[in-house]
Amino acid sequence: MNLKHFMVVIAMITLIASNLHAQAAKERSEIPEKYRWRTTDIYPDITAWQKDFESLKTDIDKLTAFKGRFAGDKAVEVPKALIEFNKLSDELGKKFEHVYTYVAYNGDVDLANSEWDGRNQQVQMLWVDYSQKLAWLEPELLKIPQETMRRFIAENPALKDYEKYYNDMYLRQAHVLSEKEEEILALAGNIVETSSDVFGKLTDVDLKFGSIQVPRRDENGNPVKDANGNALLDSVEVSDAGYVNWRTDPDRQIRQDYHNKLFSGYNEYGTTIAALMNGNVMKNVFYAKARKYDNTLQAALFSTFVPEKVYTNLVETARKNSAPLHKYNEVRRRILGVDHYRHWDYYAGLFKEPEKRYTWEEGVAIVVDALRPLGEQYVKDIAFGLNPGSGWVDPFYSKGKRGGAYSGSSYMIHPFMLYNFDVDKGLNREDVSTVAHEVGHSMHTYYSEREQPYVNYGYAIFNAEVASTTNEALLNAKLLREAREAYKKAKKGPAKDAAKQNLMSLLEANLSGARDTFYRQTMFADFELAVNRMGENSQPITKESLDTLYLGLLNTYQGPALEYEPLSSVEWERIPHFYRGYYVYTYATSYAAAMAIAEKIQTEERLGKHDARDRYLNYLASGSSKHPVELLQDAGVDMSTPAPIEACTRWFSGLVDELDALSKTPQGQ
């Protein structure tokens, strides 16, 4: 079984997610059945699942029986043994995916049912068992000289699908240890994640932040008063999850109070969280040294063959081109009408407008129409998948359902998309964008499953966000075109003001999205690289050193318009991504790559050409048939150069200038 491939499958399910606002709880039975995904497409019932799970517990012995047949005294008819092993490992890999996803998807819509959690733990433990018992595989395969393996492939067409897997294995050869050493590292798997596990438990469960007093509001958002005209107050418990909502509250004092309460809570545990961060970095240093890498960045990126220069190029180029973000912050300060633009103003909305709501079907129609530049077949496929009757989607929030949104898949069954929209209120504009995002992931997997052999259908996290963000870019571009045209055609007066308000709101949505996904994630990547280098150089990783580093980066990236205070420096303490090992940079590189791809597709469409579209669709069907950077090069974007990063910052700068000019235009004009 291709262990690294299956770990990518799990990562795709657990990491491709976006936060959505919490909604009022409804029982799942109150959600119409057509809006509930069909896990029965994987297994008809738990009995069928149990049968496969039990068989997997003994199937491992069939794989371990091949030990010694690839190299050594028992190694006869090696090509035949390789073919048989690959066929069996593929079969078991597919079965493992079905067993895992059936439990995961059922559990995610029924968190209160501990039986699903228990089954999930069983699957995870079984996977650890597989990992340990197959630790011998690559060390033994690497005893086969590469030239001999090439001859085996040339003489045996049945090995052709595994050619890239074997080539990659030889590229990693210098970092693969002996069988016993690999077994020890596999056994350490659960131990080395202690810092991450403790961080999660501390910040999600044990850490309490207290509460703040906020004015009570009616359904229209107006303050509620008692008979004497005094404002009524409610106590609101402060939490990290709640910060997503309260940081955008129109009442500046509430934003400030919530921000300070939350960050003060983290500050009190700063020494402990710094110790966890140090443990996390020491884990990275341990693995880098154990596997003979030059540094932690190389160790993290080499497994997927992403060159270090892609990471460093992102950080260096974004730093050099942070002026548009500085100007954006100044424009925000002016529009908000504050003399001092503070940390609690960072997420405040700039414009008020009536919130338009859509049914699920109306939202899907907007997405389908916006993605027509990707061709007739793509549109046909997403229209089918997003139709509730397909069984692919679970769009509405219900009691006991996992929050957020994600796209996953169960091999050759179909994609599964989880959302958490309000079934009564419907979708807002941001929700429609989320639909476009997740269906982009689904099509990437859907096409790769059907065009690639099993060993190559999964793709690196580096490539994952491109498909989703390209969809969002095409949707946003369409909405902006329509808004600009409406503003241009509107007559002077109230109609002109309304059109301008809509256009400025869309510009702000695009800018804040780019700020958070491109600039902010790059700043996180900058921080992560610096902290790991501190660990590599045996420099102290303490609360004081991390606070100083983070505050310096805030000022560098955000510019002089934002006035930070010492408490802002503890923000690094609440970022879980730092425990995932050089992961955050992929958000920024994917964003820049997607913007470049979407722009090329739209430019060619206006000229009646489709080369960029066809290259992109081929990319979606390429899985991991090439290395991540090569795949994007085939799609027309070279992330090893500054060009896509610079193009992204120029696009951002153009939108800032447009918003700046519009916001200064007199009313009615």
DSSP 383-444: HHHHSGGGS-EEEE--TT---SEEEEEETTTEEEEEEEEBTTTBB-HHHHHHHHHHHHHHHH
CA pair distance 592, 426, nearest whole angstrom: 31
User: From CA 483, how far away is CA 429, in angstroms rounded?
Assistant: 14
- Maximal C-alpha separation, the chain: 94
| 657 phi and psi angles, rounded to 5 deg | -60, -40
User: What would you report as the CA-atom Rg of the chain, rounded to the nearest whole angstrom?
Assistant: 26
Residue of 97, 182, 183, 438 marked active site: 438
* CA pair distance 402, 18, nearest whole angstrom: 12
Parallel, antiparallel, or unpaired for β 405-410 and 17-18? antiparallel
C-alpha–C-alpha distance, residues 72 and 92, integer Å: 26
DSSP code per residue over 328-344: HHHHHHHHHT-SSEEGG
> Nearest-5° angle of CA 288, CA 293, CA 296?
45
Rounded Cα–Cα distance for residues 448 and 9 (Å): 13
Question: Alpha-carbon distance 159 to 365, whole Å?
Answer: 44
**Under a CB-based contact definition with an 8 Å cutoff, are residues 185 and 110 in contact?**
no
Contact (CB, 8 A) for 517 and 587:
yes
229/241 Cα distance (integer angstroms): 33
Read off the tokens for 277. 């961060």
- Tokens linked to 459: 């793709």
* Sequence-ordered alpha helix ranges (H) in 109-172: 114-133, 137-141, 146-155, 163-171
Give me the amino acid identity at 403: G
Neighbour tally for 170: CB within 10 Å: 16
Active site residue 472: no
Give the residue numbers annotated as catalytic, written as ranges: 438
